[in-house]
Amino acid sequence: MSSESSPSSSSTHLSSTSHLQTVFDLSTRLHRGLCPVTKLRPQGSELLESHSLYYEVHGGSSASENVHKVVFIMGLNSNSFAWGPQIRHFGKKEGYASLVFDNRGVGHSGYPRGPYTTSGMAEDVICLLDTLGWTGTRELHIVGISLGGMIAQELASRIPQRIASLTLAVTTPGGRPWNNFPPWAGLKTLTRLVFIADPAKKVPLVMDMLYPSKWLAEHDEDDPQGRTNREVQAESYLRRVLITKPQELMGHISQMAAALTHHVSPARLAAISKSIPKVVIITGDEDNLVLPSHSLELKASMPEAELIQWQGTGHAINSQRIKMFNALLEETFEEARQKAESFDMD
C-alpha cells in the first residue's frame, strides 16, 4: 500500500523521501513526500524563498471518494510523529485518509528564513493541500493542537468552504505578545530546552511540561509491561526525536515567534464559527503551556462552537487521553458530515 509520493501526476514535483525514517506503520501509509513551497516577493516577479514540507498520508482506503480527509496540524517545535496515537487509530480505519506533516522549521521539513507567522504557516498547509488535490467543498476535517490550533484558525479563515469540521485543541486566539506567553513554569522549561542538546536529558523536563504529575506516576492501563505513563511517554518521545535531525535554533525561535505574534480577532473567529458546519474547542485543566482560559476566549467569539474541558488533563491532550480524544474526533467528523449536507443551503 505504501508509496513514496502522491498517487497523482504531481508526484514528479515531489522530492524523494526514501532516506527519511518514520515512526508510523508502513502498512497503513498511502503515500508520503516532500512538498515544495515557494514564496514570492510582493511584486511576484522574483523568488524570495523555497522550502519543503515533509508529509505522510495514512488510511484504510486509497480509492474511495467518500473518505473523511483529516488534516492533523502539530504544535510548537514538535514533528508530525507526535500524532502517533491518532494515526495508529485512524490509519487502520476504512473511510479515512489522514494527513500529517512537519511544519516549517522542524522535523524533516525545510527551514525558510524566520521569523515565522501563523498566517504564513497556514499558507504552507494550503500549498500542501492543493498539491495533494484535497480541494473539494466540505471535505476536510482540520485538527490543530497548540500552535497547530493557531495555524488552523488562520487556515479556516482562508479556506472555510473546504472545511467540514474544525477541532481546536489546547490553543488560543492570541493577542498582544505578552498575552501569548506561556505560564511561567512552561516558559522556563521551554527556555531550558533550547540549550539542552542531549534528547535523553530533555525527557524529564518535557514530560513534566506536557503532562500532570499525578497522571505520569500512574500505570498505563494499556501497557503490557505494566509501566507508568511517564515511562511509556518518555520512550515514545525519545523514539520520535532520535530518528529526525535535531531542530535548529532558528526553527525553534522562528516557531516561537509565530506563537507569540498570533492573533485572530473576535470578528474573524465569529466568521469562522458561522462558516464551518462543526467547530470543537477542547482543553484540559492542568496545562503548563496554554492556559485553559484561552479556550474560553475562543468560545466567547465562536458561539456555535462546542467547548469541552477534561479534568486532570495537561497540554499533550492527544497522547494523554488517547481513547477519549480519538472518540471525540470520530463523533465530530460524523456530525460534521451530516451537517455539511445542508449547511451551505441554509
75-110 residues labelled b (16+ CB within 10 A) or e (exposed):
bbbbbbbbbbbbbbbbbebeebbbbbbbbbbbbbbb
| Cα 167 to chain centroid, rounded | 10
Question: Is residue 3 in some structural domain?
Answer: no
Cis, peptide link before residue 42, omega less than 30° from 0: no
pLDDT band, very low/low/confident/very high, at 3 (cuts 50, 70, 90): low
What contacts 141, CB < 8 A, 6 or more positions away? 68, 69, 70, 71, 163, 164, 165, 167, 329, 332, 333, 336
Residues 8-53: tens digit of each pLDDT:
433 434 557 888 999 999 999 999 999 998 765 455 444 555 799 9
Q: Is residue 62 predicted with pLDDT exceeding 50?
A: yes
Residue 166 to residues 11, 145, 228, 247, 335, Cα–Cα distance (Å): 28, 11, 33, 28, 12
Q: Is residue 346 predicted with pLDDT exceeding 90?
A: no
Domain total in the chain: 1
pLDDT the model gives residue 299: 98
Question: Is residue 1 in some structural domain?
Answer: no
Contact 98, 70 (CB under 8 A): yes
pLDDT the model gives residue 143: 99
pLDDT the model gives residue 7: 44
Residues 322-334: tens digit of each pLDDT:
999 999 999 999 9
pLDDT the model gives residue 40: 52
Output the domain CATH number for residue 211: 3.40.50.1820
pLDDT the model gives residue 14: 52
Better-scored residue on pLDDT, 312 or 246: 312
**Calculated CA dihedral for residues 146, 152, 154, 157, nearest 10 degrees:** -140
- How much of the chain exceeds pLDDT 90, in percent? 80
Q: Is residue 245 predicted with pLDDT exceeding 70?
A: yes
Contact 186, 193 (CB under 8 A): no
Distance CA 100, CA 233 (A): 20
pLDDT band, very low/low/confident/very high, at 206 (cuts 50, 70, 90): very high
Residues 133-170: tens digit of each pLDDT:
999 999 999 999 999 999 999 999 999 999 999 999 99
Contact 309, 169 (CB under 8 A): no
Nearest to 54 by CA among 169, 133, 131, 137: 131
Question: Is residue 4 in some structural domain?
Answer: no
pLDDT the model gives residue 114: 83
Residues 89-131: tens digit of each pLDDT:
999 999 999 999 999 999 999 999 889 999 999 999 999 999 9
Domain coverage including residue 170: 9-343
Q: Which residues lie across from 100 on neighbouring strands?
A: 56, 72
Better-scored residue on pLDDT, 270 or 197: 270
Q: Phi, psi (5° rounding) for residue 75?
A: -95, -165
Question: Is residue 2 in some structural domain?
Answer: no
Q: Phi, psi (5° rounding) for residue 130?
A: -65, -40
